[in-house]
Every structure is written in structure tokens, then in C-alpha cells.
Structure 1
Amino acid sequence: MESSSARTSENSLGDCGNTAQVQKGIYHERQTRHLCGLHALNNLFQGPEMFKKSELDDYCTTLTPRNWLNPHRSWIGWGNYDVNVIMYALQQKNCEAVWFDRRRDPHCLNLNAIFGFILNVPAQMSLGYYIPLPFQMRHWLALRRIDEKYYNLDSKLREPRCLGSEEEFIQFLGSQLQMEHELILVLSEEKDSTEKSEQRWLLPQFRD
């Protein structure tokens, strides 16, 4: 598994400040095989081997007790984990996963209540680098706020990409949702039991 504490060039930082200060300590795993689900989880929780491939494979058989042709992963054992595995993994870290309705305006999100985000986007398959295949797979990537700025921690990127402030991040989410990408909100375990738990990810004025 490849990983890097990426160093971003000054030009790619936008308004994110000094290169060394912003990038110091940001953990970023790079893509290997079809293990984007594993990389997205480790990038989300910002640590090497927060999850291991063997653990995600075990989750597959926990969800459906068979190793051969398990529906939650690639039959050749290269990953390609489905949403059930991602959600089960999040539960192991005492986190709740909430599907966000892409028809909604992301300005309704209570960003302070959300630990991070996992985005699921289509990925064109190809033979080598040049011959596209007539089908698509899905790709998982993590988004997180780190030191008051939001970052795209996609394992296909050479390095973390700063998305900027809250408003810039909301605009980014809006553009992704317009492309019919799927968004999962990751909420950490509740500390304030008085808050309306099922909708704490929404700003108060948008709750039912």
C-alpha cells in the first residue's frame, strides 16, 4: 500500500496559506489496485492502517458469510468494496453514516456537526491507459476539514487538494451533487444527548 504525507505546491493551495504549515501532518494514501474504499477510510481518519485490507475483507464475510463471489467486494480480491462495507467500517469507529439527498442545497448542512465526508463518483474503466471499456465502476474518496480548511483527499490525486473555506467547500459539494455523485456524511458519536440526533447534520432552520 502506498502512502504519503503529501507536500502541496504553493500554486495549488489557493487561499490556504503557507505551504509548509498547511501541509504538515496531512496523511494521504495514494491509489493502489481497486482499494479506493480502504484509502478513503484511512484518509478520512488521517492515519496509516486505521483500517487494513484484511479487516475490510473480514467485514465482507461478516455481512455475507461467503468468501467466493462475495457481493461486497471484487471477486479477484482487489477491493472494490461496496457501500455496506464502508458503512460497517464507519460503525467500528463509532461513527454514523448519513446519505445526503443530492436534490438538497448543501447550504443546509451543519458543518460543525459533521466529522467528514465520503464521496462516491463514477470511474471510467480502461485497458491500460488508452483503451476505454464500455462500463464504469464507482470510486470512493474522502473530504475533510483540517486546520480550518477543507481538503479533497482523493487517493487518485498526487497530493491533498485544498478546497478552501466553508463557503468554497459548499460550492464544491454543490458542483459534485449536480453531477449526480453520491455523498455520505460521517458523524462522530454524539456528545450532546439533548440535540435532535437524527438531524444534527442539518442547520436548525432546516430540521423537521
Structure 2
Amino acid sequence: MGECPVFHERQRLELCAVHALNNLLQRAEITQLRAEEICRGLSPNSVINPHRSLLGTGNYDVNVIMAALQTMDFAAVWWDKRRSLESLELSEIFGFILNIPSPISLGFLSLPITRKHWIAVRQMNGVYYNLDSKLKSPVRLGGPRELKAFLQDCISRGSCEILLVVTKDVEDARLWINAEDRGT
């Protein structure tokens, strides 16, 4: 087939935020230790850190993701789901990090409750991939139309947040959104 190999970290503990960042970057850049350092930096005087799980197994919040991206000259822009996805200027967007509901299961038993889960979506060589760490391997979404359909499906299920990952320059100039939509 000749497709390029896609870096894909699989889910471990509650480290989906770490995996989403690394899958987005396509390299093992952020470690659990680095995420813990970021947590301490965000709440240096806290006995119980509000940016991660009480047990220290991960479950990092959006602040950790945003701080990690900032150290690499990226920014996370919260996507207002009331806007049309057609407003996105995809050529200016490095990738996406989504926070989606994820079912909880105990072995073969699926429980009727969900938790929030971070996933990455990124384009490589003209193809968008779902890089969810809970998947056995990356899932090829396709081009811009298929990406927008995937994002719309996530939004329509409710309880989904989308972060656009862009460079600082793109964030500052708001280039991630079509020119006619920048003023709104």
C-alpha cells in the first residue's frame, strides 16, 4: 500500500492526555514525569493537585495539555461548537485534540457510565487519522470532508470538546478560521 507509518501510543493507566499529545506530535515527547512537573507548576502549593487524578495515575486536565503545547510553541484554541465546521481553515491547523465520552468496562462487562477521554486527530500526507490511544491502531478518516464528518459526529453525540492545535503565529492572527469569520 505504501502508506507512511503513523506513530501511535496505546492507552496505559489514565495517560490519555499524554498519549494524545504524543500521537499528535508523532513522537514520544511528553512523559508521565513531564506531565506531573506541569501539574506541580500549575498548582505549586496544592497538597491535592486539581489537574490530575488523586492517585497519580494520570487523568490530566485541559490545563496540562495547554501548558505542554505552550512549551513547544503551539497553542490550543477552544472550538465553539455553535460555529460551522466549514469555518475552519484546515491548512492552518496542526491537529486536533478532542475530549470525548468513553465507556467504562470491566473485562467483558460494559458499564452504563462514561468518563472523559482525550484523543488526537492529525493530518499526515493529506490524510486525517483518528489517533485515539484506545484503538489498536490509527484509523484513517480520509480528507477534509471525512474529517469534518468525524468532528460533527463527535459534536452531535454531546459532551465533546474540541481543541484546535495551532502554532503561536496562527493563534495570534486567528488564521485558523476563514477570513470572513474572523470578525465574529
Q: Would you say same fold, with TM above 0.5?
A: yes
Identity %: 42
Q: Secondary structure at the match of 1:155?
A: coil
For 1:5, the equivalent position in structure 2 comes to none
| Aligned residue type for 1:99 | W
Q: Secondary structure at the match of 1:200?
A: coil
Instruction: Tell me how far 1:204 sits from its aligned partner.
Output: 1.2
Structure 1 residue 171 and structure 2 residue 126: aligned? Answer: no
Which residues in structure 2 correspond to 1:109-124 (within 5 Å)? 109-124=88-103
CA contact (8 A) 1:98 1:185 kept: yes
Q: Secondary structure at the match of 1:28?
A: coil
Instruction: Tell me how far 1:189 sits from its aligned partner.
Output: 3.2
CA contact (8 A) 1:105 1:174 kept: no
For the pair shown, the structure with the greater C-alpha radius of gyration is 1
Cα displacement string for residues 7-53 of structure 1 (whole angstroms, at most 9, x for unaligned residues): xxxxxxxxxxx2xx22x3310000011100000000000002x0111
Instruction: Tell me how far 1:200 sits from its aligned partner.
Output: 1.0
For 1:103, the equivalent position in structure 2 comes to 82
Cα displacement string for residues 46-76 of structure 1 (whole angstroms, at most 9, x for unaligned residues): 002x011100001101001146421100111
Instruction: Tell me how far 1:199 sits from its aligned partner.
Output: 2.0
- Output the CA distance in 2 between the equivalents of 1:66 and 1:26: 39
Q: Which runs of 5+ in 1 are unaligned?
A: 1-17
- Output the CA distance in 2 between the equivalents of 1:175 and 1:137: 18
C-alpha RMSD of the superposition: 1.8
For 1:155, the equivalent position in structure 2 comes to 133
- Output the CA distance in 2 between the equivalents of 1:158 and 1:32: 12
Structure 1 residue 75 and structure 2 residue 60: aligned? Answer: no
Structure 1 residue 30 and structure 2 residue 10: aligned? Answer: yes
Query: Aligned residue pairs: how many?
Result: 182
For 1:199, the equivalent position in structure 2 comes to 174
Q: Secondary structure at the match of 1:29?
A: coil
TM-score by length of structure 2 reads 0.92
- Output the CA distance in 1 between the equivalents of 2:44 and 2:63: 14
Q: Secondary structure at the match of 2:169?
A: coil
TM-score by length of structure 1 reads 0.82
Which residues in structure 2 correspond to 1:11-50 (within 5 Å)? 18=1, 21-22=2-3, 24-48=4-28, 50=29
